[in-house]
Amino acid sequence: MSEDIEVFCPACKKKHRFKAEIQEFRCRGKLFVLLKDRFGWRLMEVVVVSEEDD
């Protein structure tokens, strides 16, 4: 029994509806991960870091 949640998308400035589980999501060419932390459910942008950037 998973509930539906709505979260704000930083890419398109709209709300998207998801099932309450950790998942990947693409919006406007950007990759996000839906996750739950102490602030609740939210979208976090995935940024690839190479060893040259470290």
Q: For every one of its 54 residues, what pLDDT tens digit does the chain have, with 9 covering 90 and above? A: 568 999 999 999 999 999 999 999 999 999 999 999 999 999 999 998 887 765
Q: Note the pTM of the prediction, 2 decimals.
A: 0.79
| Cα 5 to Cα 9: distance, rounded to the nearest angstrom | 13
pLDDT for 52 equals 76
Spatial contact of 21 and 2, defined as CB atoms under 8 Å apart:
yes
pLDDT for 53 equals 64
Q: Are strands 15-19 and 23-27 parallel, antiparallel or unpaired?
A: unpaired
pLDDT for 15 equals 96
2-24 in b/e burial notation, b at 16+ Cβ within 10 A?
A: eeebebebebeeeebebeeeeee
pLDDT for 1 equals 55
